[in-house]
Amino acid sequence: MAKTLSQTSPRIRDSYKRVQDALRKDNEDYAIELLLSILAMEPEVDDLRRELRQIQLGKLKKKKADPLSSMKGMGKSMAVKSAIKKEPATALIKAEELLAIDPLNSAFQNQYLEAARAADYLQAAAITMEEILKIDSKNDTLMETLGKTWVEAGNPHKARTVFERLGELRPGDQVVIKWIKDTAAMDSMTKGGWEEEGDFRGKLKSEEEAAELEQAQRSQQGGGDLDRMIANQRRKLEAEPENLNLYRPLADSLAKNGELAEALEVLQMADEKANSADPMIQRAISEVTVNIYDHNIAVLTEEGDADGAREQQEEKDAFLLEDAAEKVQRYPNDLGFKFDYGRLLHERGELDAAIGQFQQAQRNPQRRIDSLYLMGSCFKAKGQYDIAAAQLQKAAEELPSMDGQKIAILYELGEVLELQGELEKALEFFKQIYAVDIGYKDVAKKIEAGYAKKKENIES
């Protein structure tokens, strides 16, 4: 259920006043940062999400689109995929961070939709698509996705409006005509009061109509529509084999359809056409290769072949490290690649090498906080607690709101200070966490132990 700003807490409303102040001062970056933190706490304030998207898209009008956005979003893209699988409740928060890099990146848009679905708040994705279509009004693929999203979200009226606009772009398309008819029928029933009485699908007049609606809703998952799209993309590519812009859409569609090997083949053809000079194609090749490894691991695991799955995992890990190192060498000025490489080195325990990458990656504003945090983790693992504390302190000071990221940094900082024997200082940071999230890790026990020790000292 959507909320208005007036229905939120005074703290949220005060944060929004700072958004307005930032916009008055033309500080759009800070306004975006504040809106992201608000939506992390209150995801159902649709007006603020719409405003966030308008600011982000407005910024793009003032400068050229970043051709390296897909690569810069590598880390956050992986975080979104992980959240969808492991922590669906936080998937939308992670996806907002991804979309903040480039809201017009189609791959980011698709991940955002999946995250909204995982978070059970499809309206967020629909709002995003609506705002994008205001500046990309001829994007019939996005328009189709929006219509299907509104169907899935249970809003046939908005779906019908979108499909009617789509019909203007695809005159005579029988599939679109059917969607218009189906949603018109659904819309008439909701206006008749069905929506108020419960799920409007349950109020259809016959099982046949119910089946037709379910089929319309399932179409967004791919099915025949995706097969037709792939066939159409193949025809276009065959007609213009030198057009590099036609390879990526076909590869994306094939990957969505589960045809990963063929998707990789298409991308490798594109890479040859581009003389291996297009970083976006290189990035796509890496993503599909990882997806193939993940598919193989899942199949082998399901079949009970633990040795085969372990071998594939080892090959995947080796590929990721080699691929990241190669990208750092090929694109030495891309600090996002340095961060990604550093993170892999950190995971492998190669701490000095990882620190070297993070020291450079921190110059990237989008990677700075994460770089400082992981540098602190590296120095902690090396037993250099004073240096670790300095990095973590900088990271904490640069985060304005007490979100999940800041809480994790403060906890790490508290632990480092504990290891240094500075228990009083550590307790102050644990208290900050305790004040907003009493259940975070073992922070409650640390606070209780600290107070018990104080009481013991007083009594003695």
For residue 30, give the amino acid letter.
Y
**Is residue 49 a contact partner of residue 124, using CB atoms and an 8 Å limit?**
yes
Q: What is the pLDDT of residue 80?
A: 80
Q: Are residues 351 and 381 in the same domain?
A: yes
Domain final residue, candidates 165, 197, 224? 224
Q: Are residues 290 and 387 in the same domain?
A: no
Q: Are residues 217 and 352 in the same domain?
A: no
Q: What is the pLDDT of residue 444?
A: 93
Domain final residue, candidates 224, 247, 263? 224
Q: Are residues 285 and 361 in the same domain?
A: no
Q: What is the pLDDT of residue 357?
A: 96
Kindly report, residue by residue over 405-428, the tens digit of the pLDDT: 899 999 999 999 999 999 999 999
Q: What is the pLDDT of residue 78?
A: 76
Q: Are residues 38 and 80 in the same domain?
A: yes
Q: Are residues 263 and 273 in the same domain?
A: yes
Q: Look at the chain and report how many structural domains it folds into.
A: 3
Q: Are residues 206 and 265 in the same domain?
A: no
Q: Are residues 145 and 275 in the same domain?
A: no
> What does the alpha-carbon distance between residue 115 and residue 118 come to, in Å, rounded to a whole number?
5
Q: Are residues 185 and 268 in the same domain?
A: no
DSSP class of residue 192 equals T
The DSSP-derived string for 272-341 is: HHTTT--HHHHHHHHHHHHHHHHHHHHHHHHTT-HHHHHHHHHHHHHHHHHHHHHHHHH-TT-HHHHHHH
Q: Are residues 394 and 438 in the same domain?
A: yes
Q: What is the pLDDT of residue 198?
A: 38
Q: What is the pLDDT of residue 69?
A: 58
Q: 259: domain CATH number? A: 1.25.40.10
Q: Are residues 87 and 201 in the same domain?
A: yes
Q: What is the pLDDT of residue 157?
A: 87
Domain final residue, candidates 282, 308, 330? 330
Q: Are residues 350 and 281 in the same domain?
A: no
Kindly report, residue by residue over 244-254, the tens digit of the pLDDT: 889 988 998 89
Q: What is the pLDDT of residue 190?
A: 52
Q: Show the domain range for 248.
A: 226-330
Q: What is the pLDDT of residue 50?
A: 87
For the chain, what is the radius of gyration of the CA atoms?
25
Q: Which stretches in the chain have pLDDT values below 70?
A: 1-2, 61-75, 187-224, 460
Kindly report, residue by residue over 23-44, the tens digit of the pLDDT: 888 888 888 888 888 888 888 8
Tokens coding 400: 């304005």
**Is residue 362 a contact partner of residue 371, using CB atoms and an 8 Å limit?**
yes
Q: What is the pLDDT of residue 219?
A: 43
Q: What is the pLDDT of residue 61?
A: 63
